[in-house]
Amino acid sequence: MGIKIIYFDVAHTLLYKPQVYEEILNILHKHDFNHSLAHVKEIHKLVSEVFIFPDVTSESFYTEFNASLLYALGVIPNDAILKDLFFACKNLPWEKFPDTVILDKLNFPLGIISNWNSKLKEQLAKYFNIDLFENIIISEKERLRKPTSDFYDLLLKDGKYKPEEIIYLGDSLKLDIAPGLSKGIRSILVDRDNFFPFYTGEKINDLRELNNLIYG
């Protein structure tokens, strides 16, 4: 039985905020901490892996997140650096990853399953032909969210596709890959920066590898 649909996570799989790491690095340097960009990116990713992001973020959420990020970077947080981090990173624009050009060339129906608020379709439409997506599943609308495995039942609920007919791609082992696999869905880690070199499951470093992975 072959693949019939490909589902994607959105944040850090299709869309990202490329300025965020530079802004964090600038604030660290402002406060006399000499971290490298590569180290900031790696630690930010690993801290993000253990946090559950709400559908709508707030200053209080980012205060907690940034405090944990700073501790992981070896920096004891204080009010000044936490305020600077929040305002430096507030409202930074989303952009699509360059390798998402492959979406127009995949000969499959596509879908989305994402922890996001009800504005997700509006956000996606800025970067993609929204008609590419046969189904868009949004946590705020469904009142379920990752990593709850029940959220992934929504890929199967109408009986149109069986688990083995679905490929799902996401950047988080905790939020995407583990719950997807628990439902029998072929779940592939998108690890562009090789943050998880010891992961032994299926993974790709570039979405343009998808065709080879499917047909190779």
Both 22 and 127 in one domain: the answer is: no
Can you give the CATH number for the domain in which 172 is found? Answer: 3.40.50.1000
Same domain for 119 and 61: no
Which residues, 6+ apart, have CB-to-CB distance to 30 below 8 Å? 84
- Whether residues 31 and 126 fall in one domain: no
Domain end point (choices 89, 114, 139): 89
What the block records as the tokens of 102 is 């492959």
Q: Are residues 98 and 199 in the same domain?
A: yes
The angle that helices 37-50 and 59-72 make with each other, rounded to 10 degrees, is 120
Q: Report CA-CA distances (Å) from 101 to 35, 96, 97, 106, 128.
A: 33, 9, 8, 10, 9
Contact 164, 186 (CB under 8 A): yes
On whether both 166 and 177 belong to a single domain, the answer is: yes
Q: What is the span of the domain harbouring residue 127?
A: 5-15+94-215
Indicate if 33 and 9 belong to the same structural domain: no
Q: Which of 39, 71, 89 is the last residue of a domain?
A: 89
**Rounded Cα–Cα distance for residues 168 and 73 (Å):** 32
Domain boundary (36, 60, 89) is at 89
CB atoms within 10 A of CB 103: 19
What local confidence, expressed as pLDDT, does residue 216 receive?
A: 65
Task: Find residue 136's DSSP bridge partners.
Answer: 112
> Which residues 6+ apart lie within 8 Å of 3 measured at CB?
108, 165, 166, 167, 186, 214
Nearest to 156 by CA among 139, 173, 143, 168: 168
Residues 101 and 81 both lie in one domain: no
pLDDT tens-place values along the chain, 216 residues long: 589 999 999 999 999 999 999 999 999 999 999 999 999 999 999 999 998 888 888 999 999 999 999 999 999 999 999 999 999 999 999 999 999 999 999 989 999 999 999 999 999 999 999 999 999 999 999 999 999 999 999 999 888 899 999 999 999 999 999 999 999 999 999 999 999 999 999 999 999 999 888 876
Instruction: Kindly state whether residues 44 and 113 are assigned to the same domain.
Output: no
| Structural domains counted in the chain | 2
pLDDT of residue 24: 98
Per the document, the length of the chain is 216
Residues 140 and 191 in one domain: yes
Do 36 and 121 share a domain, yes or no? no
Backbone phi and psi for residue 53, each to the nearest 5 degrees, phi listed first: -80, 135
Domain check: are 67 and 157 in the same one? no
Alpha-carbon distance of 200 to 157, in angstroms, equals 29
